[in-house]
Each structure stands twice: as C-alpha cells, then as structure tokens.
C-alpha cells in the first residue's frame, strides 16, 4: 500500500468525508468553500481530463510528436492550484496542465510546444505567473527557490496581509527528488527561509523506474530531514489537496519558511506517448489506482451533496466542446517563420546573430521557388 499512517485526506476514495483529529485543521481550511467552488473543481478536472485525452488522440493522429498525459493527477493539481492566491508565482515541471488552466493559460499553448511551434508558449505575466514548463528534471526547483528568495529580499512577504504577501508554489515529481538540483533547492530554501511550498506529485513512476528506486523511505520524510515542515496527503483527494496547499502557502507567506507537501497520486497513463507502461507495470496496480480516481470520487461526493445530473451532463458538453475547439485550433497551427530561429537568442543585439540571420534570409530567397 502506498498510503502510510501519515497520509492525510478529507475525502475517501468512495466519495465520503473523513473526519479525525489529524485532519480537523484541514477541514477548517476548506470551510469557507461552498458548493459553487466544488462545482468549479469538478468542472475543471473534467474539462482538463477530456482535453488530455483529445491531445493524446491528436498525437496518435500525427499532429504532435509527443503528448505528456496528466490523467489521474487532476485532484492534486486542481486542489492545489485553486488554493494559491492571485499574487503567487507557480513553477510547474511539465505535466501541470490543470494548474495552467486555472491560472489562465490557454491550453493550446501546451500543444504548440509539443507540436514543435515553440519551446515556451506563453508569457508568465499573462498567465498569472504560471511559469514556463521546464523539461530538464528538477532544474526549475532552484529557479523557484531563487524567486522566493527575491520575494524575501524585497520584503514582499511576512507583512501579515494574506491577500498581498507573495509565495511560490513549485511542482515536481518523485523522479526529480533524486536530482541534485532539487535537493539544493531545499537547502537554499531552508537557509533563506523562503516563502515557498514544494509540492511533490508522487505519481509513483519515473518513466519505468518505480519510486522505490528513488527512495526507500517516504519522500516527505526527506524534506523533513532538510528541516521543512512536511506532510503527506492523498493527492487524489481534491479537497485535501486544496486544504494542504492553502495552509502551507499561507504559512510560508507569513514568515514560517518553506513547506513541503507530498501528494500521493498515480500516473494512470504513460510517461509520454513514446512510452509503453505495459512493459513494466502490472494490471493490478493500475486497477488499484483507477479505483481511486480523483474525478469519480468527487462526483460521488457532489451527488451526495445534491448536485443534479443536469450539471454533470452540462460539464460533459462543455468538455466536448473545449476538446473539439482544441482539435480545430491544433489543425490550424502553422510553423513559425525561419527568422524565429534567431529572434530571441539575446536581448541585446549580437553581431553573430545579425550576420547569420541575414545569411539565412538570403540563402532561402535564392531558391527558385522563393523562401519558405
């Protein structure tokens, strides 16, 4: 069993609430949320999952070289993202599509990246500080820590004003915890007491390498070893994900230093569309986690609150429409012009770039058919 005695949850896999001594403070943390918020959680999880499936199909149809599925991890991502405040900065790894959606990212931009149109795809200033994806595992954790250090040096945290004090939320996976950069990020964070939350989505696999190769002990205990207040949650419980992140982020922004959340979840799909999990995972494990799906259990919970079928049907329609729209816009995407190769290599002018860009333009124009 991946769950331990330390695992915290608010909503059991069967969709019923759990109450005990240890999770009372977390129930408190969601007490201000109402049914409208919960409907929104459900809607986002459903829309993003449907989007994810559509993107996978588009890859199989040759419209992208690669797709990175996030199926199964919606609970961890949606809960935590909704718990952040608008002034916060988010540093994702490369699978946090739902988080991006919630911060205002048009998901076509993730497709643009995987279709070979861009290596970036958006401006964090236009996505409520949802930063770009970083494909080198763990590298971004240091960037997040550095940013958080800057918040501290600027005095933009610890004033006691929750609506203004800034904090940084950084997402990464179980594989990343082995990288030196990630461990250095925690060293620096602790040293500078950064307003930062490390959110580990332990989806149990780093491509084909199971988490036990990365660590023999629960990963939240490693962070505790660095001195960070650290908890382990059922990451497929969207309410718990919200609560844990809310409390940790507010503590971090209020001067209590960096915190760590290990969200136990599962990568239902493959690492990417180039991967084949049937080669290394067994069916039982997959079935175990499919039974703990974050969306199913939340639907059950909402139904128990009296949310009507019409709502769920309407969400399905919306999800379908969104997916179709993504499909249409994907097919219409065009390659950037050749000049893009040189467009943003430097901020200031660079003689080598100027000369090479001019050469390429002239070279392409020398063809009888004209430049492409």
Q: Which residues bind other proteins (CB under 8 A)?
A: 54, 57, 59-66, 113-119, 135-138, 175-176, 178-181, 206-209, 213-214, 273-276, 278-280, 324, 327-328, 331-336, 338, 340-342, 345, 352-353, 356, 360, 363-364, 366-369, 372
**CB of 235 vs other proteins, minimal distance in Å:** 19
Alpha carbon distance 372, 369 (integer Å): 8
Comparison of 224 and 341: residue with beta carbon closer to other proteins = 341
> Closer to other proteins at the Cβ: 61 or 159?
61
CA 10 to chain centroid, in Å, comes to: 21
Cα distance between residue 177 and residue 156, in whole Å: 28
For the bound state, the minimum distance from the C-beta of residue 133 to other proteins, rounded and expressed in Å, comes to 9
Q: Cβ of residue 221: shortest distance to other proteins, in angstroms?
A: 16
**Toward other proteins, which CB reaches closer, 191 or 371?**
371
How is 127-180 classified by DSSP, letter by letter?
TTTBPPP--STTHHHHHHHHHHHHHHHHT-SSSS-TTT---EEEEEETGGGGSH
Residue placing its CB nearer to other proteins in the complex, 85 or 329 = 329
- Smallest gap from residue 263 Cβ to other proteins (A): 18
The residue among 253, 272, 143 whose CA lies nearest residue 196 is: 253
CA distance 156 to 253: 9
Least distance from other proteins to the Cβ atom of residue 64, Å: 7
Quote the least distance from Cβ 135 to other proteins, whole Å: 5
CB of 174 within 8 A of CB of 217?
no
Cα 166 to Cα 164: distance, rounded to the nearest angstrom: 6
The three-point CA angle 81-58-136 to 5° equals: 50
Q: Taking the complex as a whole, how short is the minimal distance between the CB of residue 185 and other proteins, in angstroms?
A: 13
3-state secondary structure of 329: helix
**DSSP classification of residue 11:** B
When the beta carbons of 251 and 360 are compared against other proteins, the nearer one is 360
At 127, list the tokens: 């996505």
* Residue 97 vs 292, nearer CB to other proteins: 97
What stretch of H or E contains 199?
A: strand 196-202
Within 10 Å of residue 34's Cβ, how many Cβ atoms?
A: 9
Q: Hey, which residues does 198 pair with through a beta bridge?
A: 170, 260
Report in angstroms how near the CB of residue 327 gets to other proteins at its nearest.
7
The smaller minimum CB distance to other proteins, of residues 17 and 135, is found at 135
Phi, psi of 253 (to 5 degrees): -75, -15
Q: Which residues, including other chains, have CB under 8 Å from residue 257's CB and lie 6 or more apart?
A: 189, 190, 193, 194, 228, 229
């Amino acid at each position: 069993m991946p769950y331990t005695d330390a695992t915290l949850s608010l909503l059991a896999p069967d969709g019923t609430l759990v109450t005990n001594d240890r999770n009372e403070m977390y129930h408190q943390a969601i007490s201000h949320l109402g049914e409208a918020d919960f409907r929104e959680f459900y809607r986002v999880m459903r829309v993003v999952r449907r989007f994810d499936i559509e993107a996978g199909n588009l890859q199989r149809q040759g419209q992208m070289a690669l797709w990175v599925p996030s199926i199964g991890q919606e609970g961890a991502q949606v809960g935590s993202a909704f718990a952040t405040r608008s002034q916060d900065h988010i540093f994702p790894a490369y699978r946090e599509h739902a988080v991006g959606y919630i911060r205002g990212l048009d998901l076509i931009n993730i497709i643009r990246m995987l279709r070979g149109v861009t290596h970036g795809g958006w401006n964090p200033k236009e996505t409520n500080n949802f930063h770009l994806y970083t494909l080198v595992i763990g590298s971004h954790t240091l960037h997040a820590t550095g940013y958080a250090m800057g918040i501290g040096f600027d005095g933009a945290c610890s004033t006691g004003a929750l609506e203004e004090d800034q904090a940084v939320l950084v997402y990464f996976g179980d594989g990343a915890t082995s990288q030196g950069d990630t461990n250095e990020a925690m060293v620096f964070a602790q040293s500078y007491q950064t307003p930062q939350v490390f959110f580990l989505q332990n989806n149990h696999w780093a491509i084909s390498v199971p988490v036990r190769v990365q660590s023999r002990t629960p990963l939240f205990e490693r962070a505790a070893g660095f001195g960070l207040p650290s908890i382990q949650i059922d990451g497929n419980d969207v309410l718990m994900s919200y609560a844990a992140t809310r409390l940790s982020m507010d503590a971090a922004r209020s001067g209590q230093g960096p915190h760590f959340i290990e969200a136990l979840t599962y990568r239902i799909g493959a690492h990417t569309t180039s991967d084949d999990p049937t080669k290394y995972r067994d069916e039982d494990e997959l079935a175990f986690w499919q039974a703990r799906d974050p969306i199913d259990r939340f639907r059950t919970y909402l139904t128990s609150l009296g949310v009507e079928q019409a709502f769920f049907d309407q969400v399905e329609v919306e999800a379908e429409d969104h997916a179709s729209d993504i499909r249409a816009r994907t097919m219409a995407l065009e390659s950037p012009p050749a000049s893009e190769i040189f467009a943003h290599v430097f901020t200031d002018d660079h003689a080598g770039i100027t000369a090479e860009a001019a050469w390429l333009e002239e070279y392409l124009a020398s063809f009888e058919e004209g430049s492409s």
